[in-house]
Chain A
């Protein structure tokens, strides 16, 4: 994978993570985690919650992008049309 491909994957998943974070935290308040049975206390601060959420979405998006790119890249030789 080229360096610029990696940059594009990270960038696309960054954009997706921004949108996901916005939608997710419009619905769910990170503070609600504090009402959980065993709340991870460090997570129950709102800013920490938002930030962790953002990086979580980014990580998931990047993983999906990398896997997609890898699977497309690593198809058996000669069988793909291009």
Chain B
């Protein structure tokens, strides 16, 4: 009775989800989040600071401007630090209240929300959209679908330009776009990001969360019995069933769930929350809003579906302060304080010393031993600085340069050849020296770098 080879489909066929429109407390909260976050995204590149774009990641010049601060690749550790803080905040908030990030702040949610809104504007509500998709092509369908596509594409294009506006000054980018004189890479990235927005928010939607997002897969590891989750109150709701309004459910042997399936219809990922917590749930709370509305109409108390912890559902008291949250929270706090200090204490001028590779030393006519170095200054400050050089660690050593006045402009990287000279009789062999540069126009700015001074060995 050998069974023949059988095709096993690893994935169920994807069904298009038509989320029903919903209104309520949590939806209002999300709309506010969407407006604030997208508002920030589209407005920030236009913000000016001291005559330059306030936030500009200038990749061609390897300088990152953030408000009054300029960061260089040397400050990369700060970005790494920031990413660690971001990851830990995600852990912390996930442990406290589940997938808050997914439901309210994730770009995927935020842009999908806007794209669904545009879809609704052109194609109508859930039922109208389903009907339109089933209907044969007609002038009306073409008009509605075409209008939606036009709105989506325009919005995606503006999004692409804004994204590139963080890397190329946006005030030059927009005129260049409309006069078709945009550079090759700018064009590429505008289209790339625009297309990604269009595809992800217009078509992929919940599939991004279900199949592409790594966070969605491991967020469950941060949950415990005291994590705030979207929960269906099974004890109160079951057995579910329809009943007449105003009739007593308990008399009919029913729970509070009237099985209207609105919670399923509003779900952007198409799950039934009454089956319990699922990987697909992005905690958007649309089902809570829908169910609260139904409970109001049934004159039953709200909260058949609600934000609740496992403990509170079982009748216990939720513990907010517990080892998991305390550890995440305190490590997070330490990292944030440390980051603040690191940014505050950042040295405004940095210097590197490179030895001249051609000659170890040189004997000058006036009886000095000379070593030649190249000093490379990076001025991370918003202001220009004049510098004076000094050398330490070797008796009688002096440093000079051909540059008339050593000045390094704001955000400038400057290479200067310098000579360190020591009277010939005073030195033999190699010595460690320290080249010191200090600002003459502002006290407290002093940087140094160590180098090796070479002289002939005295016999």
Give CA–CA (A77, B125) in the complex, Å.
51
As a 0/1 sequence over residues 2 to 26 of chain B, the CB contacts with chain A under 8 angstroms (1 = contact) are 0000000011000000000000000
Contact (A47, B73) CB under 8 Å given A4-B11, A8-B211: no
Interface size classification for chain A: 10 to 19
- Which residues of B lie under 8 Å from residue A29 when comparing CB positions? 62, 73
A27 close to chain B: CB less than 8 A: yes
Q: B212 near A46 (CB under 8 angstroms)?
A: no
Q: Across chains A and B, which 3 residue pairs bring their CB atoms closest together, nearest first? A: A26-B76, A47-B185, A26-B73
- Which residues of A lie under 8 Å from residue B76 when comparing CB positions? 23, 26-27
A38 close to chain B: CB less than 8 A: no
| Nearest residue, chain B, Cβ from A14 | B212
9 chain-A/chain-B pairs, Cβ below 8 angstroms: A4-B11, A8-B212, A11-B212, A25-B73, A26-B73, A26-B79, A27-B76, A47-B60, A48-B185
Q: Which of A2, A23, A25, A47 meets B10, CB within 8 Å?
A: A2
Give CA–CA (A16, B277) in the complex, Å.
30
Residues from 5 to 47 in A contacting B, C-beta threshold 8 Å: 7-8, 11, 15, 22-23, 25-27, 29, 46-47
Residues from 201 to 235 in B contacting A, C-beta threshold 8 Å: 211-212, 214
Q: Which of A8, A15, A27, A46 meets B59, CB within 8 Å?
A: A46
Majority secondary structure, A binding face? helix
Q: Which of B11, B59, B79, B212 meets A47, CB within 8 Å?
A: B59
- Which residues of B lie under 8 Å from residue A2 when comparing CB positions? 10-11
Give CA–CA (A29, B62) in the complex, Å.
8
- Which residues of B lie under 8 Å from residue A50 when comparing CB positions? 59
Q: Which of A11, A22, A46, A51 meets B62, CB within 8 Å?
A: A46
Q: B: which residues have CB within 8 A of A? A: 10-11, 59-60, 62, 73, 76, 79, 183, 185, 188, 211-212, 214
Majority secondary structure, B binding face? helix
| Nearest residue, chain B, Cβ from A15 | B214
Most buried by B among A23, A46, A47: A47
- Which residues of B lie under 8 Å from residue A15 when comparing CB positions? 214
Contact (A4, B59) CB under 8 Å given A26-B73, A48-B185, A51-B185: no
What's the minimum C-beta distance from B40 to chain A, rounded to whole angstroms? 22
What's the minimum C-beta distance from B182 to chain A, rounded to whole angstroms? 13
- Which residues of A lie under 8 Å from residue B73 when comparing CB positions? 25-27, 29
- Which residues of B lie under 8 Å from residue A48 when comparing CB positions? 185
| Nearest residue, chain B, Cβ from A19 | B83
What's the minimum C-beta distance from B138 to chain A, rounded to whole angstroms? 32
- Which residues of B lie under 8 Å from residue A7 when comparing CB positions? 211
What's the minimum C-beta distance from A4 to chain B, rounded to whole angstroms? 6
- Which residues of A lie under 8 Å from residue B59 when comparing CB positions? 46-47, 50
What's the minimum C-beta distance from B218 to chain A, rounded to whole angstroms? 14
